[in-house]
Amino acid sequence: MRSKTAPWLLLAPFMVLFLGTVIVPIIMAIGYSFTRVERSGLLGEEGLTSVFAGFENYAAALANHNFIASIGRMVLFGVVQVTVMIVAATILALLLESAAARWPGFFRATYFMPYGIPGVIATILWSFLYIPGLSPIVDVLGLVGINIDFLAPEVVLWSIANIVTWTYTGYNMLIIIAQLKSIPGDLYEAARIDGAGSFRIVKDIQLPMIRPALVLTIIFSIIGTLQLFAEPRLMQTMSSGITSEYTPNMSAYAYAFQYNEIGMAAAQAVIIAVSAFTLSAIALGISQWTERRR
Amino acid sequence: MSTTPDTPRTAGRSKARSDERSGSRAAGRSPATTIIVTAVLAIVAIYFLIPVYWVVVNATKTTEDLFGTSGFWFGSSFELVDNIRAVLSANGGIFPRWALNSLVYSGIGSVLATYFAVAGGYALAKYRFPGKQFVYALVLGGVLVPGTATALPLFFLFSSVGLTNTYWSVLIPSLVSPFGLFLAAIYAGAAIPDEMLEAGRIDGIGELALFHRIALPQLVPAIVTIVLFQFVGIWNNYFLPLVMLADENLYPITLGLDNWRAQTDRLPEFYQLTVGGALLSVIPLAILILVLQRFWRGGLTEGSVKG
């Protein structure tokens, strides 16, 4: 439209902050990932110099057994946890929207409530429910003969998955409900006239129509899984199964702030970002491919 | 809790529901189905409420009862008031300070971030200018990069200008909401007719005044949504303050409570402090979410209907 400066003036505060806190750090991370710090002198007393290291840090990161294991752990976690959560969110959304239940408003608000509880607080609460001697759940299960240690090394990954599922199921459910509400009423009308039952309506109308919401929630969940940090880090002191390089993000954090290997930390952070990007693109691609085949 | 303002809305909804029922899909729903579905939903509700129930019950116990009695019921004495008093006064009143810090980060951060995002989104939606597509692409690319990947370099950037371990180090990154920018752009595109702006220009209103006086009031639903998302996002953030802050006095609640919990291994009395602190931080947020949930959803769906 008219003024040439007005749009830039309006955009300026956002853009300055966005460039300063997102774009510049990304460029810096990429820069660090290609450099190596060299200490001159016997103990580094003659100062530090950064030298170009090529793909050295990336090679080291990809050869690092712990880092690769942490990625594998997150893939396993994502396949199981994201599937369970999205299926649960979809079923809850369909049940709430089916008008078959009483008090839908109460249930919707209750399921959504954990989203407002910080991951740190949620982890503290659940960890109290995991600790033997403190947890009533462990007590009750023990009474019926099930002895389970939620913090055992091979179990704790799923105890973390439970916390994440608890926090985000209701949020994903709300996104799906919003999409369900946008389905035009005459579609249901037409299906009824054709004699479709509830199951046919779910399968042939509702599920296809909420596909965009499902793709969106799956992508967000995948990105979230790759970034997993607070929950495992807090539970580290409680379970011997959680190492300081348990998730890719914990690994990057450990290399940056505990081992002081900035190049390695930056390379790992870039790998995490590129993986998140690629996985999202694949999820989008699969969705569009199946859409075209229909 | 919000029965009075609730009533007309609930009435409207149940009316819409009964219309729906007589009209189409829920026709002939049997009472048995209603009971089964409601029972399933109630069991799921118990799962979501258990941790909150546990913290409410156990915040009333002494440390001995915490370990000695069943976690699902109250202990022999009711110590809620004493426990809360202990939480508020521990370490010279550090907990209220953490709560205040959280409020400062989330309150100031969400309001300013929303103002900047809405101004930018409005500019992208309502002006044609060279570089617009590039701005869109840049912001989208930035959104897809995990926040944790930028936190480490951001630490080095801030430490080179001496900003780490200050309020600014958490506040400044919280002022950016790319999600808000997109939402505002979509919403402004649909909610503000070009004729409205043209009429304002003919009346001689400047471009910035046009945004503040004509556009902003139209964008209220989008503004509410962005403020809420950003507020919860900042309040829940853990990684950024963990990286940036060393001084306990600057901690938000999340980091502070984690600090207390970490000490439970050596000092059992910190169990009771952590439980009480968790209660104090969960209750206001749970109420806030329950009350605001309807506005939130309202804002989102309105945007999608118009957009």
- pLDDT tier for residue B303 given thresholds of 50, 70 and 90: very low
Mean pLDDT score, A201-211: 86
- A265 Cβ under 8 Å from any chain B Cβ: yes
Indicate the burial class of A131 (C-beta count within 10 angstroms; 0-12, 13-18, 19 or more): middle
B224 vs chain A: nearest CA distance in angstroms? Answer: 16
pLDDT at B18 over 80: no
- B67 Cβ under 8 Å from any chain A Cβ: yes
CA angle A148, A123, B59 (to 5 degrees): 90
Q: Is residue B190 part of a domain?
A: yes
User: Which residue reads 């963990």 in tokens?
Assistant: B242
pLDDT over 90, % of chain A: 34
Instruction: Give the domain extent around B260.
Output: 92-306
Of A258, A252, A229, the C-alpha closest to A242 is A229
pLDDT at A165: 96
Q: In angstroms, rounded to a whole number, what is the distance separating the alpha carbons of residues A128 and A119?
A: 14
Q: Is residue A259 part of a domain?
A: yes
Mean pLDDT score, B23-43: 75
DSSP A203: I
Q: Is residue A2 part of a domain?
A: no
State the CATH number of the domain containing residue A245. Answer: 1.10.3720.10
B238 vs chain A: nearest CA distance in angstroms? Answer: 7
Q: Is residue A55 part of a domain?
A: no
pLDDT at B113 over 50: yes
Q: pLDDT tens digit string along B273-294?
A: 898 999 988 877 777 776 766 6
pLDDT at B25: 44
Residues 73-102 of B with CB under 8 A from A: none
pLDDT at B294: 63
Q: What angle do helix axes A156-181 and A65-97 make, rounded to 10 degrees?
A: 40
Q: Is residue B161 part of a domain?
A: yes
- pLDDT tier for residue B62 given thresholds of 50, 70 and 90: confident
Mean pLDDT score, B59-74: 78
Q: pLDDT tens digit string along B168-185?
A: 999 999 999 988 998 899
pLDDT higher at A268 or A1: A268
Of A2, A49, A10, the C-alpha closest to A263 is A49
pLDDT at B289: 72
The two structure tokens encoding residue B265: 């291994």
Mean pLDDT score, A7-14: 94
Q: Note the helical H segments in B145-268.
A: 147-160, 167-174, 178-191, 194-202, 207-209, 216-218, 220-236, 239-244, 253-262
- A253 Cβ under 8 Å from any chain B Cβ: yes
| Residues from chain B contacting residue A15 (CB–CB below 8 Å) | 120, 135
Q: Is residue A37 part of a domain?
A: no
B229 vs chain A: nearest CA distance in angstroms? Answer: 10
Domain tally, chain A: 1
pLDDT higher at B117 or A291: B117
Q: Is residue B63 part of a domain?
A: no
Stated pTM of the model = 0.83
pLDDT at B125: 92
pLDDT at A43: 62
State the CATH number of the domain containing residue B227. Answer: 1.10.3720.10
pLDDT at B21: 38
CB B180 within 8 A of CB B255: no
pLDDT over 70, % of chain A: 95
Instruction: Give the domain extent around A97.
Output: 65-293
CB B208 within 8 A of CB A9: yes
pLDDT over 90, % of chain B: 34
Q: Is residue A41 part of a domain?
A: no
Q: pLDDT tens digit string along B189-235?
A: 888 889 889 999 999 888 899 999 989 999 988 898 899 889 888 98
pLDDT at A54 over 70: yes
Q: Which of A21-30, B3-12, B99-108 has the highest mean pLDDT?
A: B99-108
- pLDDT tier for residue B22 given thresholds of 50, 70 and 90: very low
B219 vs chain A: nearest CA distance in angstroms? Answer: 15
Residue B60, SS3 per DSSP:
coil
- pLDDT tier for residue B86 given thresholds of 50, 70 and 90: confident
Mean pLDDT score, B134-149: 79
Indicate the burial class of B232 (C-beta count within 10 angstroms; 0-12, 13-18, 19 or more): buried
**Which residue in A48, A90, A113 has the most chain B C-beta atoms within 10 A of its own C-beta, making it the best mutation to test that interface?**
A113
Q: Is residue B72 part of a domain?
A: no
Mean pLDDT score, B232-256: 92
Task: Judge: A18–B176 Cβ closer than 8 Å, yes or no.
Answer: yes
Q: Is residue A35 part of a domain?
A: no
Residues 48-107 of A with CB under 8 A from B: 92, 95-96, 98-103, 105-107
pLDDT at A46: 64
**Which residue in B25, B264, B305 has the most chain A C-beta atoms within 10 A of its own C-beta, making it the best mutation to test that interface?**
B25
DSSP A103: -
- pLDDT tier for residue A102 given thresholds of 50, 70 and 90: confident
Mean pLDDT score, B14-25: 40
pLDDT at B262: 85
Q: What angle do helix axes B80-126 and B167-174 make, rounded to 10 degrees?
A: 50
Average pLDDT of chain A is: 86
Q: Is residue A70 part of a domain?
A: yes
pLDDT higher at A140 or A79: A79
Mean pLDDT score, B113-131: 93
Number of H helices, E strands in chain B: 15, 0
- pLDDT tier for residue B295 given thresholds of 50, 70 and 90: low
Q: Is residue B18 part of a domain?
A: no
Q: In angstroms, rounded to a whole number, what is the distance separating the alpha carbons of residues B192 and A226?
A: 38
- B126 Cβ under 8 Å from any chain A Cβ: yes
CB B63 within 8 A of CB B268: yes
Mean pLDDT score, A225-239: 89
User: Which residue reads 């109460």 in tokens?
Assistant: A106
Domain tally, chain B: 1
pLDDT at B20: 41
